[in-house]
Amino acid sequence: MIRLRPPAEDIARILIDEATIAAKVAELGARIAADYENKDLILVSVLKGSLPFMADLMRRIPLPLAVDFLEVSSYGRATESSGVVRILKDLAHPIEGRDVLVIEDVLDTGFTLNYVLEHLRGQHPASVQLCALLDKPARRIVPISIQYRGFEIPDEFVVGYGLDHAERYRNLPYIGVLRPEIYRST
């Protein structure tokens, strides 16, 4: 039988704690509510990593809104994006004429989000904007405009609050830096 260590043992340090995340989510929710008042807003979560962020964020936006989900893959089990983006699950409902706010966990190279944004724009929404919890500008290859940015972070391998490594650590309530020996061993 394989014994798995508790997730906290794999974390080198906490980068963003639970309370700081909650405060930022409240701030972003207030800004979004002000900007989208009287608009037909739909939040589109890019699965799986953005799910905890979107769940918390939508409760901080006191407006009528809809939610939908898009699942894409460019990593698989790797730690670096392959650069090849595939849609695994497309939207369930049309977005034509609606104001779309894409909710993402981390903006890294920009390849995946550029593909997602172009895919959504092709469906003729009224607008498409981006809300990213984390931004790693040091890794950016494709320029992407972020209308709502949570935190700018250094180029470190982070997990928690939806972010994973090999499908683990998503349930951590904070953003932590994964010990290099963990992600380099897989």
**Strand, coil or helix: 58:** helix
What are the Cα distances from residue 79, in Å, to 106, 120, 142, 184, 186? 13, 26, 18, 9, 9
Q: Identify whether 108 is a catalytic site residue.
A: yes
Rounded-to-integer distance, Cα 80 and Cα 109, Å = 10
DSSP for residue 138: G
Do the Cβ atoms of 157 and 168 come closer than 8 Å? Answer: no
CA angle 148, 152, 155 (to 5 degrees): 140
Do the Cβ atoms of 75 and 89 come closer than 8 Å? Answer: no
Phi first, then psi: give them for residue 7, nearest 5 degrees: -55, -35
Do the Cβ atoms of 141 and 108 come closer than 8 Å? Answer: no
Catalytic residue among 10, 105, 108, 164: 108
| Residues annotated as part of the active site | 108
